[in-house]
Amino acid sequence: MEANLTPSPGDENALDVALMARVGAGDHGAFRLLVERHQDAVVGTVAKMLGNPSEAEDISQQVFLRLWKHAKHYRPDAKFTTYLFTITRNLVFNESRRRSRRKEVSSDEREESSHLQIEANPDRQPDSELLQAELRAAVDAAIAALPEAQRLAVVLRRYEQMPYEEIAGVLSLSVSAVKSLLFRARSTLRESLSSYLAE
């Protein structure tokens, strides 16, 4: 009889909690395993929140450094991923606020320059590829324009398939507040992308 090789979400969480206990005792191997298990999700979430893949690496490193630093105080009151993404949320929101104070180049200006490059070389991509790339850029820009709590709720729900209860834990909100956030975010996105949806 073959064993089921796909662990259930409960087993996944039990493994993370066990690894965190070992990390809290200073086990570098357990820490490396935790990073390998969750690095892609953290980097992907940070990149979608900040729109900058190279900064995503830096912020993600800070997330895991903080995890290492606070491991001995970790208590498994919630799912491990709720704890991990709460750290991620704090660092991403801090970075967003720092950016808005620095008044960096707006995403609109960056987008304009990338559109200019595409328009300068119209023969480089077939029409359908160009439209796909344009749609992806429009979706990313529309998500980036959302208020940060809405943006994180959308990213966690859409890209990490996180349940409402866990998103509520990450954002320190009730489940109904999360559903309301997502409803407002989806309405805004539909409006922002209406020209694409009409096509």
| pLDDT score at 7 | 61
| pLDDT score at 114 | 43
| pLDDT score at 126 | 56
Q: What is the 3-state secondary structure (H, E, C) of the chain?
A: CCCCCCCCHHHHHHHHHHHHHHHHCCCHHHHHHHHHHHHHHHHHHHHHHHCCHHHHHHHHHHHHHHHHHHHHHCCCCCCHHHHHHHHHHHHHHHHHHHHHHHCCCCHHHHHHHHHHHHHHCCCCCCHHHHHHHHHHHHHHHHHHCCCHHHHHHHHHHHCCCCCHHHHHHHHCCCHHHHHHHHHHHHHHHHHHCHHHHHC
| pLDDT score at 124 | 47
Please name each of the domains of the chain with its CATH number. Answer: 9-104 (1.10.1740.10)
Q: Going residue by residue through the chain, which has 199 residues, state the pLDDT in tens, using 9 for 90 and above.
A: 444 445 676 799 999 999 999 999 999 999 999 999 999 999 999 999 988 888 899 999 999 999 999 999 999 998 999 999 999 999 999 998 887 777 645 544 454 444 434 444 444 455 777 777 888 888 888 998 999 999 999 999 999 999 999 999 999 999 999 999 999 999 999 998 888 776 5
- pTM here? 0.77
For residue 104 the two structure tokens come to 């960096």
